[in-house]
Amino acid sequence: MDFSIPAEITALREAFADFIDREVRPREEEYARIFWGANTDASNAQPVVDEVRKRSAEAGFYAAYLPEAVGGQDLSVLGTTLLVEDAAASGLRLAMAAIAPPNPAGPSTLLLKLPTHLWPEYLLPVAAAHKTMCFALSEPEAGSDAQAISTRAVLDNDEWVINGAKHYITNGADADFAIVFAVTDAEKRAAGGITAFVVPRDQYRVGQTQYNLSDSHPAELFFDNARIPADHVVGEVGMGFLEAMSFLNAGRAYIGAQALGLAEFCLNSATEHTRSRTAFGKPLAKFQGVSFPLARSKVDIEAMRWLVYHLAWRVDEEGDALAIMGDASITKYATTEWAYEVADRALQAYGGMGLMREGPIERVLRHLRMLRVVEGASEVQLLVIARTLGL
Ligand SMILES: Cc1cc2nc3c(=O)[nH]c(=O)nc-3n(C[C@H](O)[C@H](O)[C@H](O)COP(=O)(O)OP(=O)(O)OC[C@H]3O[C@@H](n4cnc5c(N)ncnc54)[C@H](O)[C@@H]3O)c2cc1C
């Protein structure tokens, strides 16, 4: 076993830290002000997000995990994982816009499965942050049980005709196109009957923005006889469900890295705060009732770290995202659950300030609460883990 981080990844992390200080930190205050100002419509903050994305793409970080041929740096999953962790650990809301995964608006590796003649229209502009996309799988009647979707696609001569509705789609209102999952063979469903398509924005209608506990507000999408050319298929016809599961599995290292980074941010903030804040004549940190929960958080964070790095290493070594499903579920489950507890302990150490919107912890706690539900809720991860036990 070699636990060292390759030197070139360490150099890239340092360059990314410089980028965050130079390009993200100065914009963070403006972003937070728009977000929490009198008008809390998140779309007002979109120009700031777009600017960070573009600058990060120009600097080579945004789509680093894609192949060089399409504007990336061929960065390994481990390298990407470490950049995601660093972005989250910076505590800057905008930093997560600077790196594509785990943000579904950014260039998905699924786009590499489009026919190459479609790359200039879809893949390259998203990699360069000139366009954004969304990943549309969930439906009102099919969330955890994603193979139960009812959106249908039928081939009509040289066009696919798509009908159905999606909901809770991140970046749904702003995306230039959607990767849409639809049933193409109702008998086969998950086993060869669901296909992934690229659907341009002018072929679907955006419904309500779905405001929720987190700061990420998804949207409804409606497909009423949406028509797309026959070649707008991601991968093979009928293999969309496997593509989705493989993509989500590979992405578990990134969601884990996000949870890990946010947990580190919470612990660092709370540690600093309890050293300086006094009560009963001494710093809060001098009370074991305050310091022990933070010590427990340190234990959780180190356990999370090695789950995340190990998963990233396995994806790099083995490539096959489905083969590592058990580890991927363990990592998603453990990191999101534990990071939430770390944030909750940090909030408690802050007292009233922990609950305040202008404090550092409140928004992180809400975000982590969301991560326990999206991309396969914790119970769905336990379901997969139980299956690996033969249960
Ligand atoms: C902010 C946000 C952003 C999102 N972004 C996207 C996106 O970009 N694209 C997309 O396609 N989807 C997206 N989603 C949808 C998300 O992936 C689903 O909400 C999630 O998969 C859960 O599905 P559900 O909400 O239908 O809950 P349900 O499937 O109804 O589940 C409800 C509860 O039952 C539990 N449960 C279900 N089955 C079992 C079981 N067999 N055993 C034990 N417990 C079970 C679940 O764990 C959950 O706790 C987003 C959701 C939110 C809230």
Tell me which of 147, 166, 168 to substitute to probe ligand 1's pocket, judged by most ligand atoms within 8 Å of the beta carbon: 168
> Ligand 1: residues within 6 Å at CB?
104, 134-138, 143-144, 168-170, 212, 214, 216, 218, 370, 373-377, 379-380, 383
On whether the CB atoms of residues 168 and 160 are closer than 8 A, the answer is: no
> In this predicted structure, what is the pLDDT of residue 311?
95
Closest CA to 72 of 112, 118, 103, 102: 112
Confidence of residue 87 (pLDDT cuts 50, 70, 90): very high
Asked if residue 34 has pLDDT above 80, the reply is no
- pLDDT at residue 42 greater than cutoff 70: no
Average pLDDT over the chain reads 95
Return residue ranges of the chain for CATH 1.20.140.10. 251-388
pLDDT at 202 over 70: yes
Q: How many whole angstroms from 210 Cα to the centroid of ligand 1?
A: 14
Give the class (CATH, top level) of 133-238. Answer: mainly beta
Residue 85 is among the residues annotated as catalytic for this protein:
no
The Cα 145–Cα 158 span in angstroms is 31
Q: Which of 68, 337, 375, 379 is catalytic?
A: 375
CA distance 322 to 151: 25
Q: Which atom, in ligand 1's list, is nearest to the CA of 146?
A: 21
Pocket test for ligand 1, best of 96, 138, 139 (most atoms within 8 A of CB): 138
Atom of ligand 1 nearest to the CA of 137: 11
How many Å lie between the centroid of ligand 1 and the Cα of residue 123? 27
**Quick one: average pLDDT of 83-110?**
94
| Geometric angle at alpha carbon 202, from 199 and 204, rounded to 5° | 65
- Cα of 364 to ligand 1 centre, how many Å? 20
Q: Does the pLDDT at position 40 exceed 60?
A: no
351 three-class SS: coil
- pLDDT band for position 149 (cuts 50, 70, 90): very high
- Range 84-102 average pLDDT: 95
pLDDT tens for residues 285-304? 999 999 999 999 999 999 99
Q: Indicate the top mutation candidate among 206, 209, 374 to test ligand 1's pocket, ranked by most ligand atoms within 8 A of CB.
A: 374
pTM tops 0.95 = yes
Q: Does pLDDT of 59 surpass 90?
A: yes
How far is the CA of 358 from the CAs of 258, 264, 339, in angstroms?
21, 19, 20
Give the residue-averaged pLDDT of 48-77: 96
pLDDT in tens, 238-262: 999 999 988 888 889 999 999 999 9
What average pLDDT score do residues 90-117 get?
Answer: 94
φ/ψ of residue 120, rounded to 5: -60, -30
pLDDT at 229 over 90: yes
Q: How far is the CA of 125 from the centre of ligand 1 (A)?
A: 30
214 CA: nearest ligand 1 atom: 1
Taking 3-state DSSP, the helix, strand and coil percentages for the chain, each rounded to the nearest 5, stand at 55, 15, 30
CA of 166, closest atom in ligand 1: 11
- What are the phi and psi torsion angles at 169 (to 5°)? -95, 110
What residues does CATH 2.40.110.10 cover in the chain?
133-238
Q: Where are the alpha helices (DSSP H) in 191-251?
A: 240-250
For the stretch 110-117, contacts whose Cβ atoms lie closer than 8 Å and that sit 24 or more positions apart, written own/partner, are: 110/135, 110/179, 110/196, 110/234, 110/235, 110/243, 110/247, 111/179, 111/198, 111/234, 112/66, 112/67, 112/70, 113/234, 113/235, 113/243, 114/198, 114/232, 114/233, 114/234, 115/231, 117/231
Residue nearest to atom 12 of ligand 1 (CA): 138
**Closest ligand 1 atom, residue 217 Cα:** 1
User: Residue of the nearest CA to atom 31 in ligand 1?
Assistant: 144
pLDDT at 167: 98
DSSP reduced 3-state for 330: helix
Residue-wise pLDDT tens digits, 349-390: 999 999 998 899 999 999 999 999 999 999 999 999 999 999
Say if residue 43's pLDDT is above 70.
no
The residues pairing with 169 across neighbouring beta strands, listed in sequence order, are: 219
Distance of CA 27 from the midpoint of ligand 1 (Å): 33
Using the predicted structure, report yes or no on whether residue 38 has a pLDDT greater than 60. Answer: no
Helix (H) / strand (E) containing 261: helix 252-276
pLDDT tens digits for 154-191?
Answer: 999 999 999 999 999 999 999 999 999 999 999 999 99
Token pair belonging to 367: 């975000």
What are the backbone angles phi and psi of residue 97, rounded to the nearest 5°? -75, -15
Residue located nearest, by CA, to atom 2 of ligand 1: 168
What is the number of alpha carbons within 13 Å of residue 198 lying toward its C-beta?
Answer: 26
Share of the chain above pLDDT 70, in %: 98
Ligand 1 centroid–CA 378 distance in Å is 9
Query: Which pLDDT does position 30 carry in this prediction?
Result: 83
The matching CATH number, chosen from 3.30.420.40, 1.10.10.10, 3.40.47.10, 1.20.140.10, for 251-388 is: 1.20.140.10
